[in-house]
Structure 1
Amino acid sequence: MKIREKLRIRFNRLTFGALNFVEGRIHGASINLFSDEFNQNPHAQFKALRETDPLHYSMAIRAWWATGFELVQEVLRDPRFGTDLRKFEKRAKKIRRRLDAQRLERFENPSMLGLDPPDHSRIRRLVTHGFMHRFIASLEPRIAQIVTHCLDRVGNQQEFDVIDVLAKPLPAIVIAEMMGLPESDHAQFQAWSEDLIAGSGGGDVAAAERAEHSSNALIDYFRSIIEQRRANPGDDLIGQLILAEEEGDTLNAQELYNTCLLLLVAGHETTTRLIGNGLYALLEAPDQFEHLKAHPELIPNAVEEMLRYEPPVIATQRFALEDMEFHGKQLKRGDAVIVSIAAGNRDPAANDQPDRFDITRAKVNQVSFGYGVHLCIGASLARLEAKVAFEHLLERFPDMTLTNQRPKWVANPFFRGFDHLRVVSGSTAA
């Protein structure tokens, strides 16, 4: 059997750089992860699952679906579920047999995403100080400068692509500057990062191959950068990671590479989708757009609603670390659980009228940045970038609308967003 055919029928969770992904193709399942119907509107299928069987086992992909809000939270915080595949001897042995030396090294030394406590806790403690809330808050003036520079590029254009003009460059520049990476490299590592996300969901073998190439390139890139910084660490994020120490403990070389790769990719891809998805939701609800223009103090709450309504990350994955009875179902050690963030966010038990986009929602219950020990370390940065972006968008383009050509959602089982989102700038854009 050819390798491309094998990739289409296998269902395995691998370590791919600092990212984890599922390979597979679903035939005749209740949810077809790779269908255009699912990509364009997964919420209807998630709703059906949540209402009929919130913890559903799919024979097609040999995994459980968790779709209720409380259920999602419970899986993410329960220590009986984890992400470290090395704990499952038979599965790990099969994975090791088909990995080359580079991928095997990454498998044996996963990023924080692929670790469970106490290993995860150790690395997170060493990394967290670079994302302290006070430090993130101090970035707001610089973020505003970057947003202004990006939007100045629109000039007198009657139409522009928000993704290309703002949503992509803003978070990429911010995280690159935090890490002290040269401006001349921004375009290259943004392309590598996009390849990793595109190849993270399986289904597309060519995308997976590009992701593998980009993963190797990013590791080599950071290896070179870190070797240079060890002699002169500086006060940027990479320098802080090199110098980070707690009770004599420091990050080893592979942990540094993995952490840098993870922070770079997660540090801008999620925010790109947050801005794009959020603006689309806002422009699709003109009453909400008008209300937000009249009450810009609601922007932070609007960002929370954007995260809930159209989350950039629609699912994540955990594995049962032991045999257990869980919500009336019998789970075996090693069982995969797809934790549907998008489905949980639209659970009516957590949010009233969940299919309505409402920026005035008194309490926005969402798990778009995760929950429990793997709560996104860069959540406060993403929120700040989105807040500043929408403040400037509403001020500069108060008459903005979507073009007649509707954008196409680009999705895989874990991520969802737009490659392009064209808008009409409005009469005051100049």
Structure 2
Amino acid sequence: MPAEADVHQLDEGLFAVTGNAAVQEALAHPLIVAEHPLKASARAFGPNMLDADGPSHRAFRALLAPILSAGRIAEYKQALMPRLVHGLVDSIAGIETDTFYDSFAHRVPYGIVCAILGIDASLEDRFHELTRPLARLLDYPTQETDETHANVTELLRLIEEQRAAKTAGAHSLLETIERTRDRKGISLTDGEVRSTALLFFLAGTETSSAFITSLVYCLGRGIFRLDELRDETIRDAYIEEVLRLYPPVQTIVRFASEDLTVQGVEVPRHSAVLASIAGANRDPQVFDHPDRFQTGRNLKGSIPFAAGGHACPGARLAKTEFSLLIQELIQRCSDVVITRDRLGMESQSFSHPTDFSVEFRTR
């Protein structure tokens, strides 16, 4: 796309937004909305947080707020995450693998979200099997199949079954958000609550799985020695720079509800607007040498978790998870090394490097 432009018309009714300021404007624009009747996610899940706007979206987010509060994340960090992170690192320490994403990256995020949802740990692999084919339902356009609809139905059944069994008691996501709904008088049905819980599960696990893969890939490229990341400040800066370069969601699809302009470009009503998080995070007008991995740079303008009213509510939870993973790798491994790299990249749905082998060398 022309470097001198930030908003590009790709076809009739289809626009791509790539510049940092333009992407942030588009994501915060009150007339550029998430809701569209043809979105596969809306058809599969019904009314839900990802596809709602305005008061409905705020109501959905209010349900998740208690689950993602600073206090609750501190509890997860103390009582839940260490066991999961230790289990993951225990399974990879001393091995070389070319299937890190498929075989290992999901274990911590799935474990966390299953625990939050109140799903028994014995069902985590089943949830992973059912959930992964649904990832592309978050794209637009995408192809729905009998399998994806059957998977949604089965996942909702399992969630309800586990809720009835009270696996996680009063602290499960469903119990918490239903209490919040009733206490605040939020007008959402039980079905809408379950759909939001399932989408929270899908988005939270798949974005984290993708980013953990990117994180391990960057560690394996030898940009830093592991021991340098013992310092929390350096470790946090490292994670933020990986997030800038490898945001797990590269493109967000929105729709123009009315005729409008973005950075002076006219966008007609009903147009699809593709907001490029990847483009915004590598805008040379904002970041010097934007394709270079460089910790310590000014990251104002980096939006790996999007921006505006739909910005990811689980960002703090995810960053806590990533930091603990690096700390555990430091304790167990002397080095993480990419041993084969064909520079592949999965850029659809949840983005991450592909077609590489990585070795986790123990101390």
> Do they fold alike, i.e. is TM over 0.5?
yes
Letter of the 1:72 counterpart: V
Percent of matched pairs sharing the same residue:
24
Which residue in 2 is equivalent to 1:415? 350
**Distance change >3 Å, CA 325–CA 220, structure 1 → 2:** same
Output the CA distance in 2 between the equivalents of 1:229 and 1:281: 40
Which residue in 1 is equivalent to 2:101? 163
Q: In structure 2, which of residues 124, 127, 132 is the aligned counterpart of residue 186 of structure 1? A: 124
Which residue in 2 is equivalent to 1:123? 60
Contact kept? 2:88, 2:108, Cα under 8 Å: yes
Which residue in 1 is equivalent to 2:9? 57
Query: Per-residue deviation at 1:204?
Result: 7.7
| 178-187 or 288-297, which deviates more | 288-297
Letter of the 1:298 counterpart: I
Contact kept? 2:42, 2:48, Cα under 8 Å: no
Please list, as runs of the form range in 1=range in 2, the aligned pairs for 1:51-200 lying within 5 A after superposition: 51-59=3-11, 62-85=13-36, 92=37, 95=38, 106=45, 109-141=46-78, 142-154=80-92, 156-157=94-95, 161-163=99-101, 166-200=104-138
Output the CA distance in 1 between the equivalents of 2:262 and 2:175: 44
Which residue in 2 is equivalent to 1:31? none
Please list, as runs of the form range in 1=range in 2, the aligned pairs for 1:369-408 lying within 5 A after superposition: 369-406=305-342, 408=344
Letter of the 2:352 counterpart: G
Output the CA distance in 1 between the equivalents of 2:119 and 2:97: 32
User: How many positions carry a matched residue from both structures?
Assistant: 361
Letter of the 1:248 counterpart: G
Which residue in 2 is equivalent to 1:5? none
**Distance change >3 Å, CA 265–CA 421, structure 1 → 2:** farther
* 3-state secondary structure, aligned to 1:330: strand
Q: Confirm whether residue 424 of structure 1 aligns to residue 359 of structure 2.
A: yes
Query: Per-residue deviation at 1:270?
Result: 0.7
Which residue in 1 is equivalent to 2:197? 260
Letter of the 2:285 counterpart: A
In the alignment, structure 2 segments of 5+ residues that lack a partner are none
* 3-state secondary structure, aligned to 1:404: strand
Tell me how large the CA RMSD over aligned residues is: 2.9
Letter of the 2:76 counterpart: L
Output the CA distance in 1 between the equivalents of 2:163 and 2:315: 25
Which residue in 2 is equivalent to 1:30? none
Output the CA distance in 1 between the equivalents of 2:277 and 2:343: 23
Output the CA distance in 1 between the equivalents of 2:138 and 2:57: 21
* 3-state secondary structure, aligned to 2:340: coil
Contact kept? 2:256, 2:269, Cα under 8 Å: yes
Output the CA distance in 2 between the equivalents of 1:146 and 1:160: 22
Query: Per-residue deviation at 1:351?
Result: 1.7
Query: Which structure is larger by alpha-carbon Rg, 1 or 2?
Result: 1
Task: String of CA shifts for 1:48-84, please: whole Å, max 9, x gaps.
Answer: 44x133111111x741101011111111111121112
Output the CA distance in 2 between the equivalents of 1:236 and 1:305: 33
Query: Per-residue deviation at 1:308?
Result: 0.5
Which residue in 1 is equivalent to 2:173? 237
**Distance change >3 Å, CA 279–CA 208, structure 1 → 2:** farther
| 366-375 or 145-154, which deviates more | 145-154
Which residue in 2 is equivalent to 1:303? 239
* 3-state secondary structure, aligned to 1:408: strand
Which residue in 1 is equivalent to 2:214? 277
Output the CA distance in 2 between the equivalents of 1:263 and 1:364: 27
Q: In structure 2, which of residues 228, 247, 251 is the aligned counterpart of residue 315 of structure 1? A: 251
Query: Per-residue deviation at 1:111?
Result: 0.9
Task: String of CA shifts for 1:2-37, please: whole Å, max 9, x gaps.
Answer: xxxxxxxxxxxxxxxxxxxxxxxxxxxxxxxxxxxx
* 3-state secondary structure, aligned to 1:138: helix
Query: Per-residue deviation at 1:213?
Result: 3.1
Which residue in 1 is equivalent to 2:224? 288
Task: String of CA shifts for 1:216-265, please: whole Å, max 9, x gaps.
Answer: 322333344445559x9622222101211344335411211111111111
Output the CA distance in 1 between the equivalents of 2:275 and 2:145: 22
* 3-state secondary structure, aligned to 1:84: coil
Query: Per-residue deviation at 1:297?
Result: 3.6
Task: String of CA shifts for 1:324-346, please: whole Å, max 9, x gaps.
Answer: 23322222221110000000000
Output the CA distance in 2 between the equivalents of 1:288 and 1:322: 48
Q: Confirm whether residue 355 of structure 1 aligns to residue 355 of structure 2.
A: no
Contact kept? 2:257, 2:270, Cα under 8 Å: yes
* 3-state secondary structure, aligned to 1:359: coil
Q: TM-score, normalised by structure 2?
A: 0.89
**Distance change >3 Å, CA 405–CA 418, structure 1 → 2:** closer
